[in-house]
Amino acid sequence: MLDRLTSITVFVQTVRYGSSAAAAAKLGMSPQMVAEHIKALEQRVETRLLNRTTRKQSLTVFGGLYLEQCQSVLAEVEAADRLAQSSHAEPHGRLRINAPVTFGRHTLMPVVTQFLNRYPDVDVELTLSDRLIDPIEEGYEAVVRLGPLQKNLALVARALRTYRLVACASPAYLLTHGIPQLPTDLTRLECLGFAPWGSDLSRNWHFQQDGRVTEVPVRGRLQVNDWEALRRAALEDFGILIGYEQAVAADLESGRLIRILPGYEGPIRPIHLLYAADHHMTSKALG
């Protein structure tokens, strides 16, 4: 079985250098082995990542989203390596992390498993919850927090890749109710609300085009505290979903959901890794 982290590296380098041959030369492997790594990734995600012809290759829609995820994974693994090297010792011990549910499932989990594979003396206790917690009081070395940071935060904050949301709905819902052309068209549609976000985001959706922001007060009869359940409601043709782009990528690629308002950028939320200043994110804090 091919190493998944190596396959991810090969995929990123293949896109970067424009061809399997160029990536093979850079990585010191045969073009056939590069092709095997790409094939292994496509089999794992059950969809095509690259469109290939005899003259050129290009990313599929899902491949573009997957590339961003892979680049994020490699960046986090490299950051973990640097932290481990700076401690002059192999990471060891237990690391307790708290993160939002959807981000944890679709973005953080691959980073954690790659870190554990690389450092066998580390144990990770990952708690996924959308509840706002105090990492010091509840004994977490690190917390991933979604949304604006509190003022005078007594924690070290490291910015991660922004959390991008896209609006989408099932083909049947759009066929029945029409495809919105402007953000303000959402006011007449059933918009699904994610309860943990509170009224600021679950009832007021922001869209940006050419630097201009449109705030839309949306309505909906359904609010759910579990995002996967909310996604299921959208798949059951009940309304408009606004969801994390990584979490809906497969649905958009398959056509189970259709992105709406493609000319507008959906809400973007900052996301940070928080930890106590006295931990310094050394081998004690990361293992």
Query: Per-residue pLDDT for 118 more than 90?
Result: no
Query: Per-residue pLDDT for 209 more than 50?
Result: yes
Distance separating alpha carbons of residues 246 and 255, to the nearest angstrom: 15
Is residue 121 situated within a structural domain?
Answer: yes
Is residue 74 situated within a structural domain?
Answer: yes
Buried b (16+ CB within 10 A) or exposed e, 140-163: bbbbbbbbeeeeeeebbeeebeeb
Mean pLDDT, the chain, integer: 84
Helix (H, G, I), strand (E, B) or coil at 7: helix
Instruction: Examine the domain organization and report whether 138 and 275 are in the same domain.
Output: yes
Q: What is the three-state SS of 151-194?
A: CCCCCEEEECCCEEEEEEECHHHHHHHCCCCCHHHHHHCCECEE
Is residue 65 situated within a structural domain?
Answer: no
Is residue 83 situated within a structural domain?
Answer: yes
Query: Quick one: pLDDT at residue 283?
Result: 41
CATH number at residue 12: 1.10.10.10
| pLDDT, mean of residues 15-38 | 88
Is residue 64 situated within a structural domain?
Answer: no
Query: Quick one: pLDDT at residue 162?
Result: 81
Query: Quick one: pLDDT at residue 88?
Result: 52
What are the structure tokens assigned to 225, written together?
């505290």
Query: Quick one: pLDDT at residue 89?
Result: 61
Query: Per-residue pLDDT for 32 more than 60?
Result: yes
Is residue 37 situated within a structural domain?
Answer: yes
Instruction: Kindly indicate the confidence band of residue 141, based on its pLDDT and cuts at 50, 70 and 90.
Output: confident
pLDDT in tens, 215-260: 999 988 998 888 889 999 999 999 999 988 888 999 999 999 999 9
Instruction: Examine the domain organization and report whether 195 and 260 are in the same domain.
Output: yes
Instruction: Examine the domain organization and report whether 131 and 260 are in the same domain.
Output: no
Distance separating alpha carbons of residues 65 and 10, to the nearest angstrom: 16
Query: Quick one: pLDDT at residue 135?
Result: 77
| pLDDT, mean of residues 112-139 | 85
CATH number at residue 231: 3.40.190.290
Instruction: Examine the domain organization and report whether 144 and 174 are in the same domain.
Output: no
Instruction: Examine the domain organization and report whether 125 and 171 are in the same domain.
Output: no
CATH number at residue 133: 3.40.190.10
Query: Per-residue pLDDT for 86 more than 80?
Result: no
Instruction: Examine the domain organization and report whether 209 and 194 are in the same domain.
Output: yes
Query: Quick one: pLDDT at residue 71?
Result: 86
Instruction: Examine the domain organization and report whether 79 and 141 are in the same domain.
Output: yes
**196 against 102, higher pLDDT:** 102
Instruction: Examine the domain organization and report whether 49 and 187 are in the same domain.
Output: no
Instruction: Examine the domain organization and report whether 275 and 139 are in the same domain.
Output: yes
pLDDT above 90 covers what percent of the chain? 25
Phi, psi values for residue 181, rounded to 5°: -100, -25
Can you give the residue range of the structural domain that contains 115?
A: 70-162+271-279
Query: Quick one: pLDDT at residue 4?
Result: 84
Query: Quick one: pLDDT at residue 285?
Result: 39
**53 against 187, higher pLDDT:** 187
Query: Quick one: pLDDT at residue 287?
Result: 38
Instruction: Examine the domain organization and report whether 130 and 225 are in the same domain.
Output: no
Query: Quick one: pLDDT at residue 54?
Result: 67
Instruction: Examine the domain organization and report whether 37 and 115 are in the same domain.
Output: no
Is residue 21 situated within a structural domain?
Answer: yes
Helix (H, G, I), strand (E, B) or coil at 2: coil
Instruction: Examine the domain organization and report whether 109 and 146 are in the same domain.
Output: yes
pLDDT above 70 covers what percent of the chain? 89
pTM of the full predicted structure? 0.58
Query: Quick one: pLDDT at residue 152?
Result: 67
Strands (E), 6-83: 50-52, 57-59
Is residue 50 situated within a structural domain?
Answer: yes
Task: Report the domain count for the chain.
Answer: 3
**217 against 78, higher pLDDT:** 217
Query: Quick one: pLDDT at residue 199?
Result: 58
